[in-house]
Structure 1
Amino acid sequence: MADLLSELARDIDRACRLTGTFTLRSGQVATEYFDKYLFESDPHLLRRVAESMVPLIPEDTDLLGGLELGGIPLATMLSSLTATPALFVRKKAKEYGTKRLAEGADVDGRRVTLVEDIITTGGAVRDATLALREAGATVEAVVCAIDRSPNPGDALSDVDLTTRYLLTRADLDRAHA
Structure 2
Amino acid sequence: MLASQIKRCSRLSGHFVLRSGKVSDTYFDKYQFEADPKLLHAIAKELALLVPPGTEVLAGLEMGGIPIVTMLSQVTGLPAAFIRKEPKEYGTCRYAEGATLVGRTFVLVEDVVSSGGAIIDALEKLKADGLTPSRALCVIDRETGGKEALESVGLSLSALFTLSQVEGSE
Q: TM-score, normalised by structure 1?
A: 0.86
Instruction: Determine if contact 1:65/1:89 at 8 Å carries over to the other structure.
Output: yes
Amino acid at match of 1:107: L
1:175 lines up with 2:169 in the alignment? yes
**Residue 100 (structure 1) aligned to one of 91, 94, 102:** 94
Residue in 1 aligned with 2:10? Answer: 16
Tell me how far 1:135 sits from its aligned partner.
Answer: 2.0
* 1:19-44 Cα deviation digits (max 9, x unpaired): 4x55535596x665321111111001
Q: Please name the residue that 1:130 is paired with.
A: 124
Give the percent of matched residue pairs that are identical in Structure 1 and Structure 2. 43
Residue identity matched to 1:77? M
Please state if 1:36 is matched with 2:51.
no
- Give the Å deviation of 1:105: 2.5
Q: Establish whether residue 118 from structure 1 lines up as the match of residue 107 from structure 2.
A: no
Deviation at 1:46, TM superposition (A): 0.5
Post-superposition Cα deviations, 1:31-84, rounded to whole Å, max 9, x if no partner, equal 653211111110011111110011100111111000001101110111111111
What do you get for the CA RMSD once the two structures are aligned?
A: 2.0
1:67 aligns with 2:61: yes
- Please identify the structure whose Cα radius of gyration is greater: 1
Gaps of 5+ in 1: 1-6
Listed as ranges, the gaps of 5+ residues in structure 2 are none
Deviation at 1:127, TM superposition (A): 1.2
Please report the TM-score for the alignment, with normalisation by the length of structure 2. 0.89
The counterpart of 2:70, out of the listed 38, 54, 76, is: 76
Shift of 1:12: 0.6
Any idea what the Cα deviations from partners look like across 1:84-110, whole Å, max 9, x if unmatched?
100000011112221101101222222
What is the distance in 2 between the residues matched to 1:93 and 1:123?
17
The 8 Å contact of residues 84 and 95 in structure 2, kept in 1 or not, is answered as yes
**Does structure 2 retain, via aligned residues, the 8 Å contact 1:64–1:75?**
yes
Report the Cα distance in structure 2 between the residues aligned to 1:35 and 1:9, rounded to whole angstroms.
Answer: 14
Structure-2 change in CA distance of 1:119 and 1:32 (3 Å):
closer
- Misfit runs of 4+, over 6 Å: none
The answer to whether the 8 Å contact 2:116/2:147 transfers is no
The separation in 2 between residues aligned to 1:27 and 1:162, in whole angstroms, is 23
Structure 2 residue identity aligned to 1:148: R
Give the letter for the 2:41 counterpart: R
Kindly state the Cα deviation for residue 133 of structure 1 after the two structures are TM-superposed.
2.3
